Amino acid sequence: MTEDELLALAVRAARAGGDALLAHCGRELAVAAKSSPTDPVSDADLASEAAIRALLRDERPADGYLGEEGSARTTESGLEWVVDPLDGTVNFLYGIPQWSVSVAVRDGDGTLAGAVLDPCRGELFTATRAGPAQLRAGGVERTLSGPPGRDLRHALVASGLAYDARVRAAQGPVLSRLGAEVRDLRRFGSAALDLCWTAAGRYDAYFERTVKPWDIAAGELICRRAGLEVHGLTEHPDLPWGIVVAPRALVGGLLALVDGP
């Protein structure tokens, strides 16, 4: 399959997951904890992943699969699908319309195609390795080129907090230091949407620690194809690896503020 064909399948899979999630909206859900009491998984997460996995298994049975809810399959084709069936579970459970479905496919060199669907707003963010980053909404498609690269003092920066309480405590001083140097901070609770919103210029930059492959596989590609730089965050005690996404003009100053404890 070509990159465009793989992207079309990623879009179909994201929409299948989104339909499953919308069917669970407003219903009482069974909820369990994963890595910590603040890290939940619900019936909605599982229903979305089941719908996505079934579609991909039928269409691409030899491909590998890595899903947030523990689903995994070793690749026979050299391709692997990386899926977050519900990015923003806490928001979903509280009725906050800030959650998404992220579907990406990668080979040994990285992500080939990715789609992030925001079912609440009807927005679909996509990219391929060789193609542009795009946003489809309301029947209109536009190419994304990232934020304008404002001075750091005028930058709106998105981030997130870890589920682990020790990591959150270590993140506090970093956020305090950053908050004194930028226009403002945002923490909305879906890493995939944070990445896509940065690609769309709704944020000037984004950084977060403890992100997993399924959180960022599609969104990172979308940001790269929108012309943004992507860097890793150095690990420190109680501060695991993370990601920084920003225009070139902001990267150096942002890393100086958030890369250390």
Q: Stretch 42-52: mean pLDDT, rounded? A: 92
Domain co-membership, 138 together with 167: no
Domain co-membership, 66 together with 16: yes
The pTM score is 0.94
Q: Stretch 190-207: mean pLDDT, rounded? A: 98
Mark which of 120, 143, 166 sits at the end of a domain. 143
Burial class (CB in 10 A: 0-12, 13-18, 19+), 58: exposed
Domain co-membership, 55 together with 117: yes
| Mean pLDDT over the full length of the chain | 94
Q: Dihedral of CA 254/176/94/209: which sign? A: positive
**Residue 194's CATH number:** 3.40.190.80
Domain co-membership, 126 together with 187: no
In a 3-state reduction of DSSP, which class is residue 177?
helix
Q: Are residues 10 and 16 in contact, defined by beta-carbon separation less than 8 angstroms?
A: no
Residue 118 structural domain: 3-143
Domain co-membership, 49 together with 176: no
Q: How high is the pLDDT of residue 42? A: 81
Determine the Cα–Cα distance for residues 191 and 214; give it in Å rounded to an integer. 10
Q: Please give the distance of CA 140 from its chain centroid, rounded to a whole number.
A: 22
Task: Say yes or no to pLDDT of 206 above 60.
Answer: yes
Q: Residue ranges of the alpha helices (H) in the chain?
A: 3-24, 43-59, 89-94, 165-179, 191-199, 213-225, 248-258
Domain co-membership, 187 together with 138: no
Q: How high is the pLDDT of residue 31? A: 67
* pLDDT above 90 as % of the chain: 87
Determine the Cα–Cα distance for residues 101 and 115; give it in Å rounded to an integer. 8
At 150, the pLDDT band (50, 70, 90 cuts) reads: confident
Mark which of 109, 143, 177 sits at the end of a domain. 143
Domain co-membership, 64 together with 97: yes
**Residue 28's CATH number:** 3.30.540.10
Domain co-membership, 9 together with 138: yes
Determine the Cα–Cα distance for residues 135 and 126; give it in Å rounded to an integer. 7
Q: How high is the pLDDT of residue 149? A: 76
Domain co-membership, 251 together with 197: yes
At 72, the pLDDT band (50, 70, 90 cuts) reads: confident
Determine the Cα–Cα distance for residues 18 and 93; give it in Å rounded to an integer. 15
Domain co-membership, 160 together with 115: no
Mark which of 126, 143, 160 sits at the end of a domain. 143
- Dump pLDDT digits (tens) for 99-134: 999 999 999 999 999 999 999 999 999 999 999 999
Q: How high is the pLDDT of residue 35? A: 61
Q: Stretch 37-54: mean pLDDT, rounded? A: 84
Determine the Cα–Cα distance for residues 111 and 115; give it in Å rounded to an integer. 11
Domain co-membership, 115 together with 42: yes
Domain co-membership, 227 together with 189: yes
- Dump pLDDT digits (tens) for 4-30: 999 999 999 999 999 999 998 876 566
Q: Structurally, how many domains does the chain consist of? A: 2
